[in-house]
Chain A
Amino acid sequence: MTASRLPRPSRLFRPQRLLIYLILILTAAFFLLPVYVLLITGLKSFQEINLATMWAWPRNLSLASFAKAWNGSQAEGFRGLSGSFLNSVYLTVPATVISAMLGSINGYVLAKWRFRGADVLFPAMLFGMFIPYQSILIPLVQMLQRVGQITKPLSVALLALSVPPALAWFPPWLANFVPAYGTIGGLILVHVVYGIPITTLIFRNYYAAIPTELIEAAKIDGAGLLGIYRWVLFPLSMPGFVVVIIWQFTSIWNDFLFGLIVTSRPAVQPITVALNNLAGSYIVQWNVQMAGALLAALPTLLIYIVLGRFFMRGLLAGSLKG
């Protein structure tokens, strides 16, 4: 990438370039500082934890803190993060995929099939991403409980399903995805609904940049609304999807408030709530808290490291310019 741009003359003189690197490296060090502390603290053994030496490299590398944060400790009476890590995966992956699909379809309709009232509907939808979520918590819980009453027959039917013993875990696992208060499905519903504004925005702006001539040409070829989406727009949508997936994956994985309020049973709690339980209880040493924090941050970090440059490319393509 960089190599292809090199032939262009550099704009600044050499001493100035040194200064640029110096500033960038110092800033990078500042950005990495917290990660350094997280990492070395997590790697220290329990005896070595001391605020006065918090910057020092660990004398012995030990993974005990990570193991403890992951598995919990029966003796000290706290729960590990492993179960909620899986919950977060079950929650984040479907919620991300569904809200990306919804956003893509909404964006397509709003960008290319403008109807009367669309100019009002779109900003009205966007407003939803700016509201403080505290203001909707109480009615939200009441709504989810009503949804639960409607979906109850479904989960009852699922639990009554007769399956071979080897698959006995399957129906209850599936029943967890039925939307209701206190289930993963309920939390997915919440994240999908409150994700609609941002995903719609990103896709609408993305599709707006795609020439209308392409659509018109497909129409002349006899393609309908769905056909155009399937054969013209969807194949062009990857950069938009990457941006939306990164965005939604990160915000759903990192969400704390909805997870806290909607799931009260530890069995379905997402990882941020479990991490808070770990860090909020005065009994857990802070190296275990740091290790837990790092474990909780790992998937989103991974997404950024692997997909970060595609995210940049998506931004460059103008999809988030607003």
Chain B
Amino acid sequence: MRRLTRDRILSIALITPSAVAILVFVYGFIGFTGFASLTHWDTLFPDYTFVGLRNYAKLFTIERFQLDLRNTVTFTVFFLLACLSVGFGLAVLIDQRIKGEGLFRSIFLFPMAISFVVTGVVWRWLLAPGTEQTGSYGVNLLFEQAGLGFLRNGWYTAPIIWHISSESTLGILLQSIGLGFLASPKFGISWPMVSVVIAATWQMSGYTMAMYLAGLRGIPDELREAARVDGATEFQIYRYIIVPLLTPITLSAVIILGHISLKIFDLVVAMTGSGPGFSTDVPAFYMFDTTFRGNHFAEGAGIAIIILLVVAVLIIPYLIYSARTEVQQ
């Protein structure tokens, strides 16, 4: 144990204000919200009657909330897949010693500078489908003019939910093993959400690219050269050397993108709202609506805590993992 010197006291004194601020503004406030979610606070004026987990029990019976959970899963999975693959692909291409590297990098990175509110406003117009009577708008119009009319679709206005039909073979099979509930739109994939994924990917894939590019540049050339000497193809080099070496980057990207997608709010509000039949509704939006439009503070706090728990399930293992690996180093 090191001695308590003047500098050690000073070091603790320097970090104390930040630590206290976080303690109050993060943990204190979360504690308050957690407490509120267990009460009967249903109008503007606080009513701290303790009701246990009743608000949570109620939430899971509400259809809108069930659909929100479905939408969040759809969004998170597609958004992560899209960002990681587009980001990685672009990073590999840019890493090929191309001309105009700086320009391409800037073009792919700049959407990150724009707020989700602006992104939502713009993509709402771009993906506005138009109708048979009015003709196509936006991207649909572009498809039409490029002779790709068959690609036209209703985007975020078409209430299509892909799900296992209860009449299909798979549906019947699921029913026979007691999982029949899976064959319903509540466990489907919401097509309107894909439009939101496109906008979000436009915004965040450049950042993913930047992270991967940083990772690629950190891999010593000798490694590739050695593999080449050993007769490995380019594909094999990526498959067996580079991708494994980039695992920490992928992990960081999953954490950063994952928590964005679980909390997504501004983009949905500005772009689609709840969508047809709540097909683009998300828990953060529902929480805002419940708390501030309906003044059901306890229920809103409950939704906030559920979002927080889901985020925590993703984040805490990661934080522990990073802390451990660092100690090993």
Contacts and interface: CB of A to CB of B under 8 A. Distances in A.
Q: Do chains A and B touch in the complex (CB under 8 A)?
A: yes
Interface of A: 1-2, 5-6, 8, 10-12, 17, 20-21, 23-24, 27-28, 30-34, 37-38, 51-52, 54-55, 102, 105-106, 109-110, 113, 115, 119, 121-128, 130-136, 138-140, 143, 193-194, 196-197, 200, 224-226, 250, 253-257, 272, 275-276, 279, 286, 289-290, 293, 296-297, 300-301, 303-305, 308-309, 311-312, 315-316, 318, 320-322
B202 interface: yes
Contact of B305 (A135, A256, A303, A304): A135
A224 B210 CA distance: 37
Contacts of A139: 28-29, 32-33
Contacts of B11: 109, 113, 115, 225
Given A33-B126, A115-B12, A123 B248 contact: no
A27 B251 CA distance: 25
Nearest to A301: B113
Given A131-B30, A131-B308, 9 more contacts: A27-B90, A31-B110, A128-B25, A130-B259, A130-B315, A132-B262, A134-B307, A138-B33, A255-B115
Interface stretch (B135-143, B152-160, B171-179, B186-194): B135-143
A293 B98 contact: no
B213 interface: yes
A34 B125 CA distance: 9
Contact of A225 (B10, B24, B36, B210): B10
Contacts, number: 270
Interface string B7-41: 11011101101110110111111101100100000
A135 B301 CA distance: 6
A135 B29 contact: yes
Interface stretch (B59-67, B162-170, B284-292): B284-292
A2 B128 CA distance: 41
Contact of A293 (B14, B108, B121, B265): B121
B304 interface: yes
B118 A293 contact: yes
Given A20-B98, A37-B122, A296-B115, A126 B319 contact: yes
B106 A304 contact: yes
A28 B94 CA distance: 12
Nearest to B262: A132
A153 to B, nearest CB: 22
Contact of B308 (A10, A132, A289): A132
A180 to B, nearest CB: 16
A123 B265 contact: no
B82 to A, nearest CB: 12
B29 A293 contact: no
Closest 3 pairs (CB-CB, A-B): A254-B115, A135-B304, A322-B252
A6 B263 CA distance: 44
B110 A304 contact: yes
* Main secondary structure on B side of the interface with A: helix
B284 A34 contact: no
Interface of B: 6-8, 10-12, 14-15, 17-19, 21-22, 24-30, 32-33, 36, 86, 90, 93-94, 96-99, 101-102, 104-119, 121-123, 125-126, 128, 130, 134-135, 137-138, 141-142, 145, 202, 206, 210-211, 213-215, 217-218, 234, 248-249, 251-252, 255-256, 259, 262-263, 265-266, 270, 284, 287-288, 291, 297, 300-301, 304-305, 307-308, 311-312, 315-316, 319-320, 322-323, 327
A133 B112 CA distance: 20
A321 B214 contact: yes
B96 A17 contact: yes
B213 A312 contact: yes
A309 B21 contact: no
30 contacts: A2-B101, A11-B97, A17-B98, A20-B96, A24-B94, A24-B98, A27-B108, A31-B206, A34-B122, A55-B141, A105-B15, A113-B7, A113-B8, A115-B11, A125-B22, A127-B26, A130-B259, A131-B311, A132-B263, A134-B284, A138-B33, A138-B36, A140-B25, A225-B7, A256-B266, A293-B118, A297-B114, A308-B109, A316-B217, A321-B249
A304 B112 contact: yes
B218 A318 contact: yes
